[in-house]
Amino acid sequence: MTTQTIDVPPGAPLTVLSEEEQLFQQSVRDFAIEKIRPRVHDMDKAGVMPRDLINSFFELGIMGIEVPDRWGGAGSTFFNAVLVVEELSHVDASCGVVVDVQNTLVNNAILRWANDDQRSKYFPMLTRDTVGAYALSEAGSGSDAFALATKAQDRGDHWLLNGRKLWITNAAEAGIYIIFGNANPDAGYKGITAFIVERDFPGFAVGKKEDKTGIRASSTCELILEDCRVPKENTLGQAGKGYKIAIETLNEGRIGIGAQMIGIARGALEYAVAYSKERKQFVKPISEFQGLQFQIAQAATDLEAARLMVYNAARLKDSGKPFRREASMAKLFSSQVCERVTSLSVEVLGGNGYTREYPVEKFWRDSKIGTIYEGTSNMQLATIAKTIFTE
């Protein structure tokens, strides 16, 4: 069964993009439409992302966008990573988040905090064929991200990690994991340390895969650490500075989630508009009714505002300027807009929109995660308020 029953024109205004960025965006858009779209329905139904599709991400060069070319990366910008996430999510949000986590969390953390030996070892893997995952959350550590129960014991030339991580994106496919544990619980959050863990390290295992509502082809799993032996040289940054790595990396990751949300909303809205031009009621296309036109106009306006917020936060990051507030604002607003736009798109299709024969219900399901992961909407509001009232 195919979900592509009508022609959906490629959309997205090329807002504030250079000619080079437009060409790059178009190349990723073409790839997503040609190579991913025909497989989306089956991937969502099975809850699995085919390995050959992941391999094509590496071949396209989008799994190491900011990584310098000497380590196999594209040596490009954070903004281009945002464009990639948007374009993939416009077709399939699961593909978008796989590439997002790889670039904005895993690669970003290693680029900023690893030493040259670690970069020389892991970047060629992460840009060639190895998926990465970022493991912070636990059963009792969600919004309170630093209430970690995972412990790291210093054994001289290595660490022993014990604990469980939950809700880890890319966990099933990954070969490299950035894992946070507390090496000095008496020091509270100042004992948190980050580690680069390889899948075949003794004591490490990938556990249960979650059966999710949306982004189903993206794996979300538990990680099990039982006397997991991690060499000392795999400490990421300084011991006890993991909290800083987590905070600053997530600030950047939130911009990536914003890009995912505007991509999802755009995909749903494009389909709804195309459908409205074909669906007739009262002897004319429903697109000719002003009531529908006004709803679509409002959705398009909200989407463009969200896109500008995401793009602005990414530009600030690339320019080395503060962007924490803007990242939280972009993530908060884009996730809100995404929920509204995808819900409206379902309604435009009426009964058809509520069936899995048409893709808008999937965009709707995929939208919900945006208000939850990488900081809930309430946590974004708390961050924004803090920057307003105390900084």
pLDDT in tens, 211-245: 999 999 999 999 999 999 999 999 999 999 999 99
**Contact status, residue 276 vs residue 285, Cβ threshold 8 Å:** yes
Q: What is the pLDDT of residue 2?
A: 40
**CA distance to 56, 137, 274, 355, per residue, from 36 (Å):** 10, 30, 20, 21
The architecture CATH gives domain 133-240:
Beta Barrel (2.40)
CATH superfamily name and code, 19-131 = Acyl-CoA dehydrogenase/oxidase, N-terminal domain (1.10.540.10)
| Spatial CB neighbours of 151, under 8 Å, sequence gap ≥ 6 | 161, 162, 163, 181, 182, 183, 185
Q: What is the pLDDT of residue 144?
A: 85
Q: What is the pLDDT of residue 276?
A: 98
Torsion-angle region of residue 128: left (phi > 0), alpha (psi -120 to 50) or beta?
A: alpha
Among residues 280, 275, 258, 233, which one has the least CA distance to residue 114?
A: 233
pTM of the model: 0.95
Backbone angles phi, psi at 134, to 5 degrees: -125, 115
What's the CA gap between 317 and 320, in Å, rounded? 5
What's the CA gap between 223 and 201, in Å, rounded? 13
Cα 235–chain centre separation: 25
Among residues 350, 346, 351, which one has the least CA distance to residue 268?
A: 346
Q: What is the mean pLDDT of the chain?
A: 95
**CA distance to 201, 295, 334, per residue, from 26 (Å):** 40, 28, 22
Handedness of CA 201, 121, 73, 330 (dihedral sign): positive
What's the CA gap between 269 and 263, in Å, rounded? 10
Name the token pair of 91.
């077709």
Between β-strands 131-135 and 174-182, what pairing exists: parallel, antiparallel or unpaired? parallel
Q: What is the pLDDT of residue 3?
A: 44
| Domain definitions of the chain by residue range | 19-131, 133-240, 244-389
Q: What is the pLDDT of residue 6?
A: 53
CATH superfamily name and code, 244-389 = Butyryl-CoA Dehydrogenase, subunit A, domain 3 (1.20.140.10)
* Selected catalytic residue, list 87, 138, 270, 374: 374
Catalytic residue status for 59: no
**Which regions of the chain are under pLDDT 50?**
1-5, 10, 14
